[in-house]
Chain A
Amino acid sequence: MSRNDKTAPYVESFEEISKTLPGAWLADTRSNAIRQFEAEGFPTPRTEAWKYTNLNRLTRAGFNIAGISGVSGASEWSELVIDGADTIVIVNGSYDASASKKGAVPIGVSIAPLSEAIERKEPSLEGRLTKIAPTHGAPLVALNTAFMREGVVLKLGDDIKLEQPIQVIHFVEASDTRLSVHPRTLLVAGENSSATFIETFVGSAGSVYWTNAVTEIEVGCGASILHVKRQAESLEGFHTALTQAKLDRNARYHSVSLTTGASISRNEVRVSFNGEGAEALMAGGTLLRGRQHADNTTQIEHTVPHTSSNQIFRNVLDGAAHSVFQGGVMVRQDAQKTDSSQSNHNILLSSGAQADTKPELQIFADDVKCAHGATVGDLDETALFYLQSRGIPARRAKALLIEAFIAEISDALSTGAVRDHVVDAVSAWMEDLG
C-alpha cells in the first residue's frame, strides 16, 4: 500500500464532512492541515522520531471519522471516575451532557465543550487553539487539527486555585464501524492559578478504534498545573496523542501518566520554556502484556536560563510486549543554569518482551546540570528470594517488587483521590499477572 493509499481515505472523508465540522472561521486552518497530512503521510520508522513505532497495523486497519453521535447507554467508563472530580464525558467523540457531572464552578473558571467554545469563538482560543501545538512535521497533529470536533476548553483566571480535580473521560464504545476520534483539549492557566486536570481514555473491551488526541496547555506566570493521563483504551484499540505545554516564568507543569491500554499507543509530551524559573516534571508508568506496544516520547526545549525538567519513566513488560522510551532534552545556548534529568528503567518479565530506550541530550550551553540514566533488566532475583524466605508467596513477592518499582510514578502525586486512583490501577493490572 503506498503512502497515498493510506492517507487518501482520510482526505476523502475530509472533503465530505468538512462542512459539518464546527467553526467556519477554522475552515482554512483545517484544510491546510489536511493538505499537510496528505503531504507528510503517516509517520514511519524511517523518521528518527518514530524509529521504534510502526503504525502499519493502524494504517492498514482503516478507520472512519466519527460523526456526531447520540447519547450512549454504555457506562464502562464509570469505574474510572475519580472521587470528587468534576467530570466531562465524551462518547465516540461527542459531548455527553447527561453523563457529565459538573459541580459549581468558581468565578474566573470556564469549562466548555470544544464544539461550543469554537462556535462561540471564545476569546481564550485566540492565538492558542492549533497554535500551541504546531502541525509542521507532526502529521497526526495535522490530522487532528483537520478533524477536531470535540474536547474541552478549560480556562483558569489569574490567582484561581481550583480545588476539585477536573476529569475528562474519552470513551469509545463497541460498534460495527471502526471509528477514529480526534479530541482536542485546550487548557489555559492564568497567572498564579493552579489546578489538577485528568484525561482518561477508555473504550469498550475488545472494540477496535483509534483515538488521535491533541492537548494544548499554556501555564501562565507562577501557575501550577498537574496533568494526569490515564490511558486504559481497549486492548484492540489504537492510541496516538501529543501534549504540548508552554510554560511562562516560574510556572510549574507536572505530567503524570499511566499506560495500560491499547494495542499500539504513542504518548508524546513536548514542553517549551518561555520564562525563567519554570519547572516541568514528566512521570510515566507503562504496564504492558500480550502483544501490546507503547511508546513514550518527550521533547523538552530549554530556551531560557534557570529552568528545570525531570523525566521519570518506568516500564513493566510481560508477554511479548514492546515498550519504547525516547526522551529528548534540548538545551539552547542561552539556557544557562538549566537543570535537567531523565531516567528510564525497564523490567522485562518474560522472554518475548522487548524494551527500546533512547534518552537523548543535546546541549549547547556550558553552565548546566544535565544527567540521564537508563536500565533494562529483570526482577532482582535476590530480592525475590529474600521476600520468599520471609514467607511471602512468589506471586505476591513479584507483585510487591513491581509495585515498588512503579511507585516512583505515583510518588509524583500527592496523597488523595488521584493518587489512589493510579495506585489502584497498578494493583488491578497486577491481579492478572502470571
Chain B
Amino acid sequence: MTPPAETAPIFEEAAKREYEYGFITDIDSEFAPKGLNEDIVRFISGKKGEPEWLLEWRLTAYRHWLTMQEPKWAFVNYPNIDFQDAYYYAAPKNDENKPQSLDEVDPKLLETYEKLGIPLAEQAVLAGVAVDAVFDSVSVATTFKEKLTDAGVVFCPISEAVQTHPELVKKYLGTVIPYTDNFYASLNSAVFSDGTFVYVPKGVRCPMELSTYFRINAANTGQFERTLIVADEGSYVSYLEGCTAPMRDENQLHAAVVELIALGDAEIKYSTVQNWYPGDEEGKGGIYNFVTKRGVCRGNNSKISWTQVETGSAVTWKYPSCVLEGDNSVGEFYSVAITNNYQQADTGTKMIHVGKNTKSTIISKGISAGKGQNTYRGLVKALAGADQARNFTQCDSLLIGNECGAHTVPYIEVSNPATQVEHEATTSKISEDQLFYCQQRGLNAEEAVSLIVNGFCKEVLKELPMEFAVEAQKLLGVTLEGSVG
C-alpha cells in the first residue's frame, strides 16, 4: 500500500482560534487504495481478520448500496460526492501489532488526545470515565478495561468484539439499522472500519461513564465507524462520544452508524458533543456528517435517551431515533444544533410508538447565525397498538443576524385514538433589550450572546453528564464567535 502524499502541515491555520482542534498529527499511516469496490471491502475485512459471515454481510451491503441513490430531501446543499475519490481505510502504522497496554501506544497519539483534552492515562483528569479512542479508522486505546471487566461490562473496539464476543455481535449487528436502511447506512455497513462495542450484562449498572473519542486525522479519508451498544435486562449505561478533525480545505465524509438495544427494564443514555471541523468562514472545507443513529427499546419498561450538542461539521444530516417496542418504554431526544458561517444542519429525531403506554419527549434548540441554515426535522408516529402513547415536543429556534435560516418540519402520524401528541415550536431572536441589559451589567457583546444562548439551551445542556456540560457550554460560545457585530 502506498501512502498518499501528505499535504503540508497547515500549522498557520491551526493557529486560528476559531477551531482549536484543527491541527494534524504527523504520524505514519497505512491506507487502503483510493476508491471503493469489492476488493476494498475484502481488504478492510481482511485487515480485521473477520469471520466469513461478516465479510459476506459487508459484501451484500455493498452490492445493495450500488443500487441506491443519495438522499436529497434534506434542506442541505453540497456538491456531489465522488465516492471513488476517497480512502476508505487509514490506520496508524503500528496498528499491525496492536498495543496491549497504554504504555505501548504511540506517544504521538497520546499527545494528540492530550491536546484535545482527552487524557488517556488512567490516573489523569477524566477519572470515572472510560475512553475508547478511535483515530481515523481504528481504535487506538481503551482505558479502564480491567475495572469494567470486573463488572462484566464489555467495552472494546468493535473489531475486537468480533473476535472476542462473536455471538453477541452476530446476534445484534444490523438488527436496529439494517444494511438496507438508507444510502449512508448501507455504505457504512460495507466499509465500517472500527467503532465501539458495549455490552452491559443483566442487572449491571455500568460503574462509570463510557466514552469514545473520534478523531479524523488523515487527508481524503472517510470515517465510517460503527457503534453497537446492548443493555441487557435491568442494566444501565451512560455513553458519550466526542469528535474533532483537522482543518482541511477539502470536505471529508463521516458516515457513522450507531445502534442501541435496550432490553427489559434497561436504560441507555447516549450523549454526543459533535465538534467536527465546520469549514472556514467562506464555507470551504469541513466534515459532511451523515450519520444514522437509532435505538430500540425492545423490552418493557426500557428507556433510551439521546442528548446531542452539534456545533461542528459543514453539513449535518442525522436523526437519532427511538423505536419504542416494549410496553411502558421511554424515548428522549434533547438536542442543541448551532450553525454559523456556512454551516448547514438538518437534524431531529423519530419517535416510533409501537408498545402500549410508551412515552417520548423531544426538546430541540436550533441556533442559526451567519449564513447558517438549521432545520429541525422530526417524526412522531403512534401505531394502532400504541394505546396511551404520549409525546411532547418542543422546538425552539433562535436566529442571530438576518442572513441565516431556521426551519421546522415536524411530521406527526397518529393511528391510535388513545394517544396524546403535542408539538410546540417558537422562533425568536436575541433581542436588543437583552443584549443591552447584559452589556449594561458589564458583559461585552460576545459574552452576552454566549450567556443568552446558554440560557436558551439550558433544558438540553442539563441532560449532559457533568464533565461534558461545561465543555459544551464553552463550545457554544466559541462556535458563535464573530456572529454579532
- The answer to whether A and B touch in the complex, with CB atoms under 8 Å apart, is yes
In the assembled complex, A4 has its CB within 8 A of some CB on chain B: no
Q: Which residues of B are found within 8 Å of A356, using beta-carbon distances?
A: 411-414
CB <8 Å contact, A354 and B413: yes
- Stretch binding the partner chain, chosen from A72-80, A155-163, A363-371, A418-426: A363-371
In the assembled complex, A377 has its CB within 8 A of some CB on chain B: yes
Give the docked Cα–Cα distance between A358 and B421 (Å): 13
In the assembled complex, B417 has its CB within 8 A of some CB on chain A: yes
In the assembled complex, A373 has its CB within 8 A of some CB on chain B: yes
In the assembled complex, B397 has its CB within 8 A of some CB on chain A: yes
Q: Which residues of A are found within 8 Å of B402, using beta-carbon distances?
A: 333, 336, 365-367
Interface of B, helix, strand, loop or mixed by DSSP: strand
- B-contact 0/1 string along A374-404, CB 8 Å cutoff: 1111100000000000000000000000000
- B-contact 0/1 string along A271-296, CB 8 Å cutoff: 00000000000000000000000000
Q: From residue 378 to 409 of chain B, which have CB atoms closer than 8 A to chain A?
A: 382, 384, 397, 399-409
Give the docked Cα–Cα distance between A371 and B427 (Å): 6
In the assembled complex, A355 has its CB within 8 A of some CB on chain B: yes
Q: Which residues of A are found within 8 Å of B382, using beta-carbon distances?
A: 376
A357 closest partner in B (C-beta): B412
In the assembled complex, A372 has its CB within 8 A of some CB on chain B: yes
Least Cβ distance of A26 to chain B in Å? 37
B402 closest partner in A (C-beta): A366
CB <8 Å contact, B423 and A359: yes
Give the docked Cα–Cα distance between A367 and B401 (Å): 9
Q: From residue 309 to 358 of chain A, which have CB atoms closer than 8 A to chain B?
A: 333, 336, 346, 348-351, 353-358
Give the docked Cα–Cα distance between A301 and B116 (Å): 46
Q: Which residues of A are found within 8 Å of B417, using beta-carbon distances?
A: 348-351, 353, 378
CB <8 Å contact, B401 and A366: yes
In the assembled complex, A12 has its CB within 8 A of some CB on chain B: no
In the assembled complex, A119 has its CB within 8 A of some CB on chain B: no
Classify chain A: how many residues form its interface, as a range.
20 to 34
Contact of A375 among B406, B423, B427 (CB under 8 A): B423
Contact of A363 among B401, B406, B423 (CB under 8 A): B406
Q: Which residues of B are found within 8 Å of A364, using beta-carbon distances?
A: 404-405
In the assembled complex, A48 has its CB within 8 A of some CB on chain B: yes
Least Cβ distance of B215 to chain A in Å? 35
Contact of B421 among A349, A372, A375 (CB under 8 A): A375
Also in contact, A355 and B403, with CB within 8 A (given A363-B427, A369-B427, A373-B424): no
- B-contact 0/1 string along A31-45, CB 8 Å cutoff: 000000000000000
Q: Which residues of A are found within 8 Å of B443, using beta-carbon distances?
A: none
In the assembled complex, A431 has its CB within 8 A of some CB on chain B: no
Q: From residue 315 to 330 of chain B, which have CB atoms closer than 8 A to chain A?
A: none
Q: Which residues of A are found within 8 Å of B408, using beta-carbon distances?
A: 359-361, 372
Least Cβ distance of A344 to chain B in Å? 9
| Residue in A333, A351, A363 with the greatest tally of chain B CB atoms within 10 Å | A363
Q: From residue 292 to 315 of chain B, which have CB atoms closer than 8 A to chain A?
A: none
In the assembled complex, B63 has its CB within 8 A of some CB on chain A: no
CB <8 Å contact, A333 and B403: yes
In the assembled complex, A362 has its CB within 8 A of some CB on chain B: yes
Also in contact, A346 and B406, with CB within 8 A (given A371-B426, A375-B420): no
Least Cβ distance of B354 to chain A in Å? 16
Also in contact, A377 and B421, with CB within 8 A (given A333-B402, A362-B405): yes
Least Cβ distance of B286 to chain A in Å? 22
Q: From residue 412 to 441 of chain B, which have CB atoms closer than 8 A to chain A?
A: 412-429
A346 closest partner in B (C-beta): B414
In the assembled complex, B174 has its CB within 8 A of some CB on chain A: no
CB <8 Å contact, B399 and A374: no
Least Cβ distance of A396 to chain B in Å? 20
CB <8 Å contact, A368 and B427: yes
| Residue in A365, A366, A367 with the greatest tally of chain B CB atoms within 10 Å | A366
CB <8 Å contact, A48 and B73: yes
A340 closest partner in B (C-beta): B427
Give the docked Cα–Cα distance between A350 and B400 (Å): 45
A334 closest partner in B (C-beta): B402
Q: Which residues of A are found within 8 Å of B409, using beta-carbon distances?
A: 358, 360-361
Supplied contacts A351-B416, A371-B427, 20 more A-B pairs, CB within 8 Å: A333-B402, A348-B414, A349-B417, A351-B417, A355-B414, A356-B414, A357-B411, A359-B410, A359-B425, A361-B409, A362-B405, A369-B427, A369-B428, A371-B424, A371-B426, A374-B410, A374-B412, A376-B382, A376-B419, A377-B420
A-B contact pairs, 24 of them (CB 8 A): A333-B402, A348-B417, A348-B419, A353-B417, A356-B413, A356-B414, A358-B410, A358-B411, A359-B410, A361-B408, A361-B409, A361-B427, A363-B405, A365-B399, A366-B400, A366-B401, A367-B429, A371-B427, A372-B425, A374-B422, A376-B382, A376-B420, A377-B419, A377-B421
Q: Closest 9 A-B residue pairs measured CB to CB?
A: A348-B417, A366-B399, A376-B414, A370-B427, A377-B420, A361-B408, A376-B421, A374-B423, A354-B415
Which residues in B have some Cβ–Cβ distance to A below 8 Å? Answer: 73, 75, 382, 384, 397, 399-429
Which residues in A have some Cβ–Cβ distance to B below 8 Å? Answer: 48, 333, 336, 346, 348-351, 353-378
